[in-house]
Amino acid sequence: MSQIKYLLPKEGEFYKTNLHAHTTVSDGAFTPEQMKSEYMKKGYSAIAYTDHNKLTDHNDLCDESFIAINGFECDIYESGKSDFASMRTYHLNFLDTDPKENTQAKIDSIWPRPAYDDMNGINAYIEKMNSLGFLTTYNHPYWSLQNFDDIKILKGIWAFEIYNHGCEVEGLNGYAPQTYDELLRLGNSMYCVMTDDNHNHNPLDSQYNDSFGGFTMIKAESLSYENIIKSMKEGNFYCSMSPQIHELYIEENTLVVKCDPVQSIFVTSSHRICHRCIAPAGETITSASYKLTGNEGYIRVTCKTTDGKFANSNAYFI
């Protein structure tokens, strides 16, 4: 009998999640309750409420069909500049893995924070937050006007925001797969997520609205705060703008991908050459398999639809 290594768990259910959202608690237009309602209409089971620099308990929104993940977005702006449009910044999401633990310490630790050019201080801040029970996401590098030197020595990052829908709608700078690969090729082991970073300043039916464009599909035993966090910690998820990845596993050194109908399925590694499967013109594919050499360093899957929407797996070091 051949041995199968499941990169996405065989058992469990997928739960559609937005891991970056803003409400009236900071600079968003929707109340937390409104956001829950609108996202549930679109099939979402969880939202991480990440209002700017404010950690708020949203446990009252949790029920058998919805989980509200507590969190906040930390903003560290470049000093000495008055023009916001040209000011570089670190934006980091901190997602609370257990709201019942270290509650006051978490709130007290939001401030003070290090200066933009104090990399040792920023890494110490991340380390402190991680020790209190947060998962740290590094957000939207292009919108933040950062280059690789700004981020290559960040430590303690749980996930990289490979796509930010709000940034894409605002400035066509939301998708950052190359930066993710650059970090991976330095040996950084981190997951990737797609998010909305929605503020909803435009109506939901507007072409300028920033909701429902990037999501993370978390596979868990059942829908509970504990199970969602457990799967996030273990990397049991993929992220997408639209297409779904149904199965992802390795059998006898062969990577197998099964997904919605797409135009292409690529496997990126630490090397220059990709494994690839591309549908003939006018056709789509729903699966692909690739013989692995064992020398890829890491692998990650990208599925692309005919209308240019992407789904990304996490990176797996092999």
CATH no. of 243-318: 2.60.40
Q: How far apart are CA 268 and CA 313, in angstroms?
A: 10
DSSP 312: E
Reply yes or no on whether the pLDDT at 1 is more than 60: no
Domain ranges of the chain: 12-241, 243-318
pLDDT for the residue 233: 98
Residue 114 near residue 127, CB atoms below 8 Å: no
- Of the listed ranges 50-54, 73-77, 78-82, 240-244, the least confidently predicted one is 78-82
Question: How far is Cα 33 from Cα 295, in angstroms, rounded to an integer?
Answer: 49
**pLDDT tens digits, 3-24:** 999 999 999 999 999 999 999 9
Q: What is the mean pLDDT of residues 196-215?
A: 98
Give the chain as a DSSP string: ---EEESS-SSSEEEEEEEEE--TTTT-SS-HHHHHHHHHHTT--EEEE--BT-----GGG-BTTBEEEEEEEEEEEPSS---GGG--EEEEEEEES-TTSSHHHHHHTSSS---TT-HHHHHHHHHHHHHHTEEEEE--TTTTT--HHHHTT--S--EEEEEEHHHHHHHS--B-HHHHHHHHHTT---EEEEE--B---S-TTSTT--SSS-EEEEEESSSSHHHHHHHHHHT-EEEESSPPEEEEEEETTEEEEEEEEESEEEEEESSSPPEEEEPPTT--EEEEEEE--S--SEEEEEEE-TTS-EEEEPPEE-
pLDDT in tens, 206-249: 999 999 999 999 999 999 999 999 999 999 999 999 999 999 99
pLDDT at site 82:
87
The predicted model gives 276-285 an average pLDDT of 97
User: Is 3.10.450.50 the CATH number for 12-241?
Assistant: no
